A and B are shown apart, each in its own frame.
Chain A
Amino acid sequence: MRSTIRRRCGSALDFALLFVLAAFCAVFVVWPIGSFVWQALPFSGSAPNMLEVLTQNSGAILNSVFVAVLVSLLSCAIALAVALVVTFGRRGWASLVTGLVTLSLASPPFVASLAYIELFGRRGLVTHGLLGLSVSPYGWQGIVFMEALFFTGINVILLDSVLERVDKSAVSAALDLGAPMRRVFADIILPLLRPGVAVCLLLTFVRSIADYATPVVIGGKFETISTQIYVRVVGYSDLGAAAVLNLVLFAASFVAFIAYRRLGSTLDVASKSLGASVRPADDEAGFRLRGALGVFAHVVTAAFSSAIVAVYATIVHAAFTKGMGWSAPLTLDNLTHLMEYNVDAIGRSILYALLSAGASTLIGLLAAYFVHRRRVAGSFLLDFLTSLPYTIPGICLGLGYILAFNRPPLELVGTSTIIVAVLTAKEIAISTRAFTAALAQVPPELDMAAKDLGAPDTSVLWGVLAPNLRSAFGVSLINGFTGSMMAYAAVLFLIVPGHKTAIFELFDALSGGKYGEAAMISLALVAITSLVCAAFGRLLVKRRS
């Protein structure tokens, strides 16, 4: 009797969880995205003339495409070189580079631009301090350089994961059959890399085209689609035109996502080859970075590493000096200013980031469980919806949110709820992917055994599966926290003056020319993110076995 009641409660809870997942997708994914797409379509009420908007902004669109193509090519070339060093280079050097790549991944969005202005601006340490020039740093060159530098990190991670799957014994076999090292690269490693490089190019293209933070800071008069969307919304309150431009970004990212899906499946096939680490031990034959390729890879990696080091050195320098230039006196003013004026904003950022990291982890777990484990009806749709917010540019998503939530029934604009919701939606995809991958490691017989022993579905999830997914919880929380802490474009339209987050304070300081204060906020953000991630990282450590 007691067990029957318990079972009933179990299945009600199970249904409730599925409902939570579906409701979140409906309210915070379908509705906002649907809202801006509807707004842009010619048969909606406030129909803008689509063609007119596009011709008016053709300059910005071309600019965006031009920058995005250059950034993709440059960033992928750098990433390939760095990934080769990370995978095949000497151990110590490789881990140092890995550390720098990780640092670049967890950087606030304006850090590179800030350092760029400090180094190459009118009063820049290099251009003015060393060369005695006074040149404007603003323009497309800066955008290309900064984006390429900071999109490289994620590409390195992706390419490295592909390179790690190179079958060590295939390399040994090629060497054994008499292939010289460059042929091993061309015949064994390159074919495996090709889909990975294609994915990197595509994703970088979309990231660049959707990037708002870099062009707005160092683009100067150079207009891109994202900056135009901002100007349309904030300057002219022309939501229709903004929605049309948004649709352009949406379409580009959607095409890239489909292509990624198709190429991604070839990546998965490649992953089936064995071999723990492809890096040969010192006394073992295997692929080594030598010859022209080796020189190229090491030189580019050294340049990339120095650039990252230079960025952070500049930030630290700017944070603790007064004014610009080599002879600027040391000061703690910026720290005092931070403690006095920015603590609230930083606290808010941490709170939002913790809430959205928690929420996206929970929803990601549910999505992975229902979609990939249980394969409930409508799984394909749920899978698509949970990955959609991640694929579309932050600025698109943010615009969708104001369009959807600025009037009843859900008037959320101006509340903290909408901020947490948009940040959560943005991180679900990664979270789901982490849990899906971890679930794949848990044999399906475990679920069957638990059910066979009488466990209701919810007990299987919490009692049997969740305890075996510790590392996925870690990955999801770290990613969710970092992503939310550094989010700018997605919340651009949603933050109201009294409730600014640290990133907005950073932007305000930066655009007000207070580079020292901006640098100090950047440092604080990096420090906090590292600390919190280190705490979550404990989940990644395997328990004693």
Chain B
Amino acid sequence: MFLELSHLSKSFGSHEVIDDLCLSVEKGEVMCLLGASGCGKTTTLRLVGGFLAPDGGRVVIDGQDVTGMSPEIRPTATVFQSYALFPHMSVVENVGYGVRFSGATRAEAKQRAMEMLEAVGLSECASSRVQDISGGQQQRVALARALVLGPKVLLLDEPFSNLDANLRIRMREEVRQIQRRFGVTMVFVTHDREEAMSFADRLAIMRNGKILQVATPREAYDHPADLYCARFLGHVNELDVPGGTRFFRDEAVTLGKEGGVLGVVGDATYLGGYWRYELLVGESRVYVRAPANQRYARGATVPFVIDQTIDV
């Protein structure tokens, strides 16, 4: 494996934040650490980047044990949530900053920074102050500043959280394209499941400092390791039927089909292209999706069939 985290643990005081964590990432892969706030995902990223020393365990990159290496010599580069651009330097100075420490002359550093800015499509802002460019451009500067050092692993902390909704989707695509072009291995952290599913090759779902499941987005959605993972990736209905309790996603039903269960429509929300119905089945309450043309009034009794269940 290209990046191997084995049996990492980390405590702050008596609080155990990372507990015997193992994870393998392949070369060129985009791995997402997904979890609620406080689950230890950012701490894990800091351990990989060398900003924190683990209490136990190892970090191996490309066959080299980097556990004891400080961030300035570790072959990783981080794009911070706040981008952490140096406010007193221009765009090109920011990008060239790290190159100087690898022994390059000032001219070489500038040359390489300009090439990198070209690659991320920012050559025209090279001499702008970082405060004067847009949020999306700032993010690309942060990315360029990290990539110019040719890191073996690129770490991104909540990379899109500072952008508004539309820009977020565009930047996701742009960063993905840049990643493919450079073939760089990426680990990124987010709490946003949509971001995780659209951006990552594989997800690692975390809770209380442990990884619950590592899988492709589709596997994780369809075959979650447990109920927590299932719920983290989307709403899960829970319904008692003869023969046991069934768990199923909102869209895994056919509404209006006889032979299954009967529900009374409690609430109906039109979400653009489909309906989301709240159905009361006995004491239970489930939410299901139906196409736009299936309109039921509140209080109507509707039959439905569960097409696919989640086994946990």
Contacts and interface: CB of A to CB of B under 8 A. Distances in A.
B103 A6 contact: yes
Given A6-B103, A7-B72, A449 B131 contact: no
Contacts of A55: none
A327 interface: no
A446 B142 CA distance: 11
- Chain B interface secondary structure, helix, strand, loop or mixed? loop
A449 B72 contact: no
Given A448-B51, A451-B71, A452-B49, A545 B131 contact: yes
B270 interface: no
A445 B87 CA distance: 12
Interface in B35-91: 49-51, 70-73, 76-78, 80-82, 84-88
A2 B88 CA distance: 27
A442 to B, nearest CB: 9
Interface stretch (B94-102, B179-187, B228-236, B287-295): B94-102
Interface in B98-127: 98, 101-103
Contact of B80 (A2, A7, A445, A464): A445
A526 to B, nearest CB: 35
A464 B73 CA distance: 18
A468 interface: yes
B257 to A, nearest CB: 54
A468 B88 contact: yes
A463 B49 CA distance: 22
Given A3-B102, A453-B149, A454-B98, A448 B78 contact: yes
B98 A453 contact: yes
A467 B88 contact: yes
B78 to A, nearest CB: 5
Contacts of A456: 72, 101
Contacts of A453: 72, 77, 97-98, 101, 145-146, 149
Contacts of B73: 7, 454
Interface in A450-469: 450-456, 459, 463-464, 467-468
A6 B77 contact: no
A455 B84 contact: no
Given A2-B103, A3-B103, A7-B72, A449 B88 contact: no
Contacts of B101: 3, 6-7, 453-456, 459
A450 B71 CA distance: 9
Nearest to A543: B88
B81 A445 contact: yes
B97 A455 contact: yes
A454 B71 CA distance: 7
Contacts, number: 74
A452 B148 CA distance: 12
Contact of B82 (A2, A443, A450, A452): A443
Interface size class of A (residues with CB under 8 A): 20 to 34
Contacts of B72: 7, 451-456
A454 B102 contact: yes
Nearest to A448: B51
A456 B100 CA distance: 11
Interface string A217-254: 00000000000000000000000000000000000000
A450 B97 contact: yes
Contacts of B85: 449
A443 B85 CA distance: 10
B96 to A, nearest CB: 10
- Chain A interface secondary structure, helix, strand, loop or mixed? helix
B87 A452 contact: no
Nearest to A460: B72
Interface in A1-48: 1-3, 6-7
Interface in A279-338: none
Contacts of B146: 452-453
A454 B70 CA distance: 9
A455 B84 CA distance: 14
Interface in B158-172: none
A463 B149 CA distance: 19
Interface string B219-244: 00000000000000000000000000
B103 A455 contact: no
A443 B87 CA distance: 11
A196 to B, nearest CB: 33
Contact of A446 (B51, B84, B98, B102): B84
Contact of A454 (B78, B88, B129, B149): B149
Nearest to A544: B129
A451 B88 CA distance: 17
Contacts of A455: 72, 97-98, 101
A343 to B, nearest CB: 40
A87 B131 CA distance: 32
Contacts of A6: 101, 103
A459 B73 CA distance: 15
A454 B72 CA distance: 4
Contacts of B49: 448, 452
A8 to B, nearest CB: 12
B130 to A, nearest CB: 11
Contacts of A463: 97
A43 to B, nearest CB: 41
A3 B100 CA distance: 9
Given A3-B103, A6-B103, A454-B72, A448 B80 contact: yes
Nearest to B46: A448
A448 B103 contact: no
B240 to A, nearest CB: 48
Contacts of B77: 452-453
Interface of B: 49-51, 70-73, 76-78, 80-82, 84-88, 97-98, 101-103, 129, 131, 145-146, 149
21 contacts: A3-B101, A7-B73, A443-B84, A445-B82, A445-B84, A446-B84, A448-B71, A448-B80, A448-B84, A449-B78, A450-B86, A450-B97, A451-B71, A451-B72, A453-B72, A453-B101, A453-B146, A454-B73, A454-B101, A454-B149, A455-B98
Given A453-B101, A545-B131, 10 more contacts: A7-B73, A445-B82, A448-B71, A448-B78, A450-B86, A452-B49, A452-B50, A452-B76, A453-B72, A455-B97
Interface of A: 1-3, 6-7, 443, 445-446, 448-456, 459, 463-464, 467-468, 545
Nearest 4 A/B pairs, CB to CB: A453-B98, A454-B101, A445-B84, A449-B84
